[in-house]
Copies of this chain bind each other. A is one copy, B any other.
Amino acid sequence: MVRYVYDFAEGDKDQKDLLGGKGANLAEMIRLGLNVPPGFTVTTEACRAYLASGAVPTEMAEQVTEQLRILEGKIGRTLGDPEEPLLVSVRSGAKFSMPGMMETVLNIGTNDASVHGLAVFSGDERFAWDSYRRLIQMFGKTVLGIEGHFFEHAIDEAKTSAGVTTDIELGVDDLKALVDTYKGIVREHAGIEFPQDTREQLDMAIKAVFDSWNTDRAVLYRRQERIPADLGTAVNVQAMVFGNVGDDSGTGVAFTRDPATGATGHYGDYLPDAQGEDVVAGIRNTLTLDDMGRLDPEAHAELLANMDLLEKHYKDLCDIEFTVENGRLYMLQTRVGKRTAGAAFRIATQLVDEGIIDTDEAVRRVSGAQLVQLMFPHFDHSGDRTLVAKGIAASPGAAVGVAVFDSETAVEKAEQGIKTILVRRETTPDDLAGMVAAAGILTSRGGKTSHAAVVARGMGKTAVCGTEDLAVDTTAKQATAPGGIVIREGDPLSIDGATGEVFVGEVPVIPSPVVQYFEGELSPDGDDDLVRSVHRIITHADDVRRLRVRTNADTPEDSARARRMGADFEEILEAMDGLPVTIRLLDPPLHEFLPDLTSLSVAVARAEERGDVKADDLRLLAAVERLHESNPMLGLRGVRLGLAIPGLFGLQVRAIAQAAAARKAAGGDPRAEIMIPLVGAVQELELIKDEAEQVIAEVAAETGSELAFQIGTMIELPRAAMTADQIAEAAEFFSFGTNDLTQTTWGFSRDDVEGAFFTTYLEKGVFGVSPFESIDRDGVGALVRVATEKGRATRPDIKLGVCGEHGGDPESVHFFDEVGLDYVSCSPFRVPVARLEAGRATLFKAGGGSDSR
């Protein structure tokens, strides 16, 4: 016989698959000897059987009966008994908590008869009728699917006719009348009488939890998160205890450390004479745990002891729910608690110092995403601020500067040392110089995957996008906010990339101490305990990680730096003496070298209309028309340009070779590697390699220098991945260009599908996160895996790396480690994230644990 129902006392915390998270943790607390109201868990297996057949398995119904009998025995009361009724709660508990699933029905077991017994037993008639009222309301909404506003409207009317303003002022008679009204609502909207059979109440609630596994929101969430659709949820049935039966009762939540700051100590909120939902509702002011100690020292002492026990047991910050019923403490729930990014780092190192976990585990306990949060400055919330608009929080940070409406002005101001916010309807690659120069970017169009958002995140620059309330007029150089507030060039603005808020004026900014540490401005041994924690964790990640981390100079910011240096390969090789420098040959699409066809056509047409068109302009237009590409991303780029224009790549290789020769002559150790972009076939690489080797030999002969360069290729086309075995015959290294590889593997370009389309895809759960942000493991990742295997099959010592956005994305770093690449390369701002996540990847693999972030 299949076991579908387990007593809480039978499980433990490692049985989340079968009992769900909540059930497993309740079982664990019982195992630890804590006082938990008894109950039982209906397993995920029962849910799966129900969903597959559409009916509750017979064994399950029998086992619920048996467990209910045991529970009634333990409590000494019976479900639905008119004298001494047992009341139970029914709660869902899947392996992963999931928005959209049914949460809780309390007070199951109350009916027209037992409500009287409850009144007698509790000595509180009002409590009994209020409990009944609450049951019908919760049951009606969550089990019967009646819209909540019918009940809320009824209770509002009851208050009006009673002449009171709050629920607790309603008297017994008011509540009795309300119960009748509620029954009417059930009759009208569900077409049934509210069930008086208390076992039927229980069975219906359990089935409702099962059914809620397949609500639209839950299905969507699973689709986004790729959670298997067939896991199912468990259901926990637990004897009710009441915190609202007098002054020696109450309910609360507690944390074993401060989840906001990570500070040690016991934190929590307590509400005497209340039920859990009252704490959440926030009607009454809560007390601290210290206040609770004064009110009820015994329960308080037991709670603190339980908290210490649970934290030591779970070896982490615990988040606890409890109730005190007539002075007796009951533990209702525990789980490892959520915390802020700063708290995560502080707690991890505290636990090491307390001997509870080792440093490996501390590294596992924090994430790159948390580290990123710590690397942004933030606004001082205490300052005066005038919010004028709100957009999408596209790239975190707090930026302050004067408004500018074009790139040129942003660059000019930057040269004068003036900080700017670049305000555009949207950005294009033409705006890159301005984006580099500006302190922050504000757009009225585009979402998290827009050009502005993606480039800003890559640079670690603050951006607020899609601020649709803002009417941006770049010609007039002004933007109009709601209420007619006009922002003109030169007006000070402050934008918060973490909240999407836009303020006029200068809001004071607090810089990130973590960035100051990474830039060497703050000592790792100084006063800032957050910096000390980050330092300890990142250096340990460095010690354990297998993946090497490189930085690339292909973000606009670094390119600008290289340009300021005169883009002289020699200086780069000097700066990087003794270190490998991979130089990618010319890559941008042809159209980036050409004037825009539409603008030029319009200019020529206008000139023609005015009768002053120039022959040169007509010739230029003809040339641009001839070279125009319908799909520049799929046009004459990279190696194709190198093959179509003989000598183009040779020129670059010559410059690199000459720079290396000069460095050698000066006693340096240049280690340049030459990388060919957009290769799809080994033949392309062979042809360019032949040309490069000839040029290198020429320069070697001219300079008398011995020159040798590794020559490798980008793998950024599906064909390159599928034929990596052939390509590895000519390539000494591969660098995966996962941005382009994502474009071609999915067949969409970032430029063209952002905005409405990506938003639709994220909403509909086609993907949980943009594949440009985090590598698409199943598709793009599968090609990376194929190329890795094929490349190594041909050339076992081939060097494999990745460059581009994904190299600094936490999820992606884990994937690249798993696939066995040698290094990731990312923008400088993302290097700490890559270091941390590379370390974590090693530890999760070694520890056999899975990354639970």
In angstroms, Cα B764 to Cα A761, docked, is: 42
Which one of B629, B717, B756 lies within 8 Å of A746 (CB-CB)?
Answer: B717
Binding-face segment, A4-12, A291-299, A520-528, A602-610: A602-610
Q: Which of A617-671 contact B (CB under 8 A)?
A: 629-636, 640, 643-644
In angstroms, Cα B722 to Cα A719, docked, is: 12
Q: Which residue of B lies closest to A719 (CB)?
A: B779
Q: Which of A580-620 contact B (CB under 8 A)?
A: 597-598, 601-602, 605-606, 608-610
In angstroms, Cα B726 to Cα A223, docked, is: 12
In the bound complex, do residue B723 and residue A782 qualify as a contact, i.e. CB atoms below 8 Å apart?
yes
Binding-face segment, A677-685, A830-838, A843-851: A677-685
Which among A635, A644, A745, A780 has the greatest number of chain B C-beta atoms within 10 A?
A: A745
Q: Is A81 an interface residue (CB 8 A)?
A: no
Contacts of A686 on B, CB cut-off 8 Å? 223
What are 19 of the A-B contact pairs (CB < 8 Å)? A223-B686, A597-B598, A601-B601, A609-B609, A630-B631, A630-B632, A630-B752, A631-B752, A634-B747, A636-B753, A636-B757, A640-B757, A678-B747, A680-B746, A687-B764, A718-B779, A719-B779, A723-B778, A723-B779
Contacts of A166 on B, CB cut-off 8 Å? none
In angstroms, Cα B597 to Cα A601, docked, is: 11
Supposing A601-B601, A778-B726 touch, asked if A633 and B636 sit within 8 A by C-beta, the answer is no
Q: Is A740 an interface residue (CB 8 A)?
A: yes
Q: Which of A699-741 contact B (CB under 8 A)?
A: 716-719, 722-723, 726, 740
Contacts of A749 on B, CB cut-off 8 Å? 630-631, 634-635
Contacts of A560 on B, CB cut-off 8 Å? none
Contacts of A748 on B, CB cut-off 8 Å? 634-635, 640, 680
In the bound complex, do residue B743 and residue A634 qualify as a contact, i.e. CB atoms below 8 Å apart?
yes
Q: Is A765 an interface residue (CB 8 A)?
A: yes
Per-position 1/0 for A215-244, Cβ under 8 A of B = 000000001000000000000000000000
In the bound complex, do residue B602 and residue A632 qualify as a contact, i.e. CB atoms below 8 Å apart?
no
Which one of B631, B744, B757 lies within 8 Å of A632 (CB-CB)?
Answer: B631
Q: Is A356 an interface residue (CB 8 A)?
A: no
Q: Is A760 an interface residue (CB 8 A)?
A: yes
Contacts of A634 on B, CB cut-off 8 Å? 631, 633-634, 743, 747-749, 752-753
**Distance to closest chain B CB from A557 (angstroms):** 23
Q: Is A27 an interface residue (CB 8 A)?
A: no
Contacts of A632 on B, CB cut-off 8 Å? 630-631, 752
Q: Is A767 an interface residue (CB 8 A)?
A: yes
Contacts of A414 on B, CB cut-off 8 Å? none
Which one of B644, B766, B780, B783 lies within 8 Å of A760 (CB-CB)?
Answer: B644
In angstroms, Cα B631 to Cα A633, docked, is: 7
In the bound complex, do residue A752 and residue B636 qualify as a contact, i.e. CB atoms below 8 Å apart?
yes
**Distance to closest chain B CB from A474 (angstroms):** 13
Q: Which residue of B lies closest to A445 (CB)?
A: B626
Q: Is A193 an interface residue (CB 8 A)?
A: no
In the bound complex, do residue A753 and residue B640 qualify as a contact, i.e. CB atoms below 8 Å apart?
yes
**Distance to closest chain B CB from A780 (angstroms):** 7
In angstroms, Cα B745 to Cα A748, docked, is: 12
Supposing A634-B753, A683-B764 touch, asked if A747 and B776 sit within 8 A by C-beta, the answer is no
- Beyond contacts A634-B634, A718-B744: 15 other A-B pairs, Cβ-Cβ < 8 A, are A602-B602, A602-B605, A633-B747, A634-B753, A636-B752, A636-B753, A640-B757, A687-B764, A717-B747, A718-B718, A722-B779, A722-B783, A723-B778, A726-B778, A744-B747
Q: Is A751 an interface residue (CB 8 A)?
A: yes
Contacts of A629 on B, CB cut-off 8 Å? 751-752
In the bound complex, do residue A782 and residue B722 qualify as a contact, i.e. CB atoms below 8 Å apart?
yes
In the bound complex, do residue B605 and residue A766 qualify as a contact, i.e. CB atoms below 8 Å apart?
no
In angstroms, Cα B723 to Cα A782, docked, is: 9
Q: Which residue of B lies closest to A597 (CB)?
A: B598
In the bound complex, do residue A751 and residue B630 qualify as a contact, i.e. CB atoms below 8 Å apart?
yes
Which among A636, A718, A743, A766 has the greatest number of chain B C-beta atoms within 10 A?
A: A718
Which one of B687, B752, B753 lies within 8 Å of A766 (CB-CB)?
Answer: B687
Q: Which residue of B lies closest to A641 (CB)?
A: B757
Q: Which residue of B lies closest to A428 (CB)?
A: B630
**Number of copies of this protein chain within its complex:** 2
Contacts of A723 on B, CB cut-off 8 Å? 778-779, 782
**Distance to closest chain B CB from A28 (angstroms):** 36
**Distance to closest chain B CB from A515 (angstroms):** 35
* In the complex, the 4 A-B pairs of residues with the closest C-beta atoms, listed nearest first: A609-B609, A719-B779, A718-B718, A634-B749
In angstroms, Cα B632 to Cα A733, docked, is: 33
Which one of B605, B643, B718, B747 lies within 8 Å of A783 (CB-CB)?
Answer: B718
In the bound complex, do residue A643 and residue B743 qualify as a contact, i.e. CB atoms below 8 Å apart?
no
Which one of B719, B743, B744, B767 lies within 8 Å of A776 (CB-CB)?
Answer: B719
Q: Which residue of B lies closest to A630 (CB)?
A: B751
Contacts of A747 on B, CB cut-off 8 Å? 633-634, 678, 680, 716-719, 740, 743-744
In the bound complex, do residue B643 and residue A683 qualify as a contact, i.e. CB atoms below 8 Å apart?
no
Contacts of A780 on B, CB cut-off 8 Å? 719
Contacts of A745 on B, CB cut-off 8 Å? 680, 717-719, 722, 744
Which one of B640, B716, B778 lies within 8 Å of A722 (CB-CB)?
Answer: B778
Q: Which residue of B lies closest to A790 (CB)?
A: B782
Contacts of A767 on B, CB cut-off 8 Å? 681, 683
Contacts of A783 on B, CB cut-off 8 Å? 718, 722
**Distance to closest chain B CB from A370 (angstroms):** 29
In angstroms, Cα B703 to Cα A626, docked, is: 55
**Distance to closest chain B CB from A808 (angstroms):** 23
Supposing A598-B597, A632-B631, A748-B635 touch, asked if A684 and B757 sit within 8 A by C-beta, the answer is no
In angstroms, Cα B150 to Cα A97, docked, is: 87
In angstroms, Cα B609 to Cα A717, docked, is: 46
**Distance to closest chain B CB from A728 (angstroms):** 13
Contacts of A751 on B, CB cut-off 8 Å? 629-631
Contacts of A683 on B, CB cut-off 8 Å? 223, 764-767
Q: Which of A497-535 contact B (CB under 8 A)?
A: none
**Distance to closest chain B CB from A426 (angstroms):** 10
Contacts of A752 on B, CB cut-off 8 Å? 629-632, 634-636
**Distance to closest chain B CB from A605 (angstroms):** 4
Q: Which of A747-796 contact B (CB under 8 A)?
A: 747-749, 751-753, 756-757, 760-761, 764-767, 776, 778-780, 782-783
In the bound complex, do residue B633 and residue A779 qualify as a contact, i.e. CB atoms below 8 Å apart?
no
In the bound complex, do residue A644 and residue B726 qualify as a contact, i.e. CB atoms below 8 Å apart?
no
Contacts of A681 on B, CB cut-off 8 Å? 766-767, 779
In angstroms, Cα B631 to Cα A631, docked, is: 4
**Distance to closest chain B CB from A752 (angstroms):** 4
Which one of B605, B636, B718 lies within 8 Å of A605 (CB-CB)?
Answer: B605
Which one of B223, B610, B680, B765 lies within 8 Å of A779 (CB-CB)?
Answer: B680
Q: Which residue of B lies closest to A598 (CB)?
A: B598
Contacts of A680 on B, CB cut-off 8 Å? 745-748, 779
In the bound complex, do residue B684 and residue A766 qualify as a contact, i.e. CB atoms below 8 Å apart?
yes
Contacts of A601 on B, CB cut-off 8 Å? 598, 601-602
**Distance to closest chain B CB from A228 (angstroms):** 12
Contacts of A643 on B, CB cut-off 8 Å? 760-761, 764, 766
**Distance to closest chain B CB from A735 (angstroms):** 16
Q: Which residue of B lies closest to A646 (CB)?
A: B760
Q: Which residue of B lies closest to A603 (CB)?
A: B605
Per-position 1/0 for A84-127, Cβ under 8 A of B = 00000000000000000000000000000000000000000000
In angstroms, Cα B748 to Cα A635, docked, is: 6
Which among A681, A726, A756, A780 has the greatest number of chain B C-beta atoms within 10 A?
A: A681
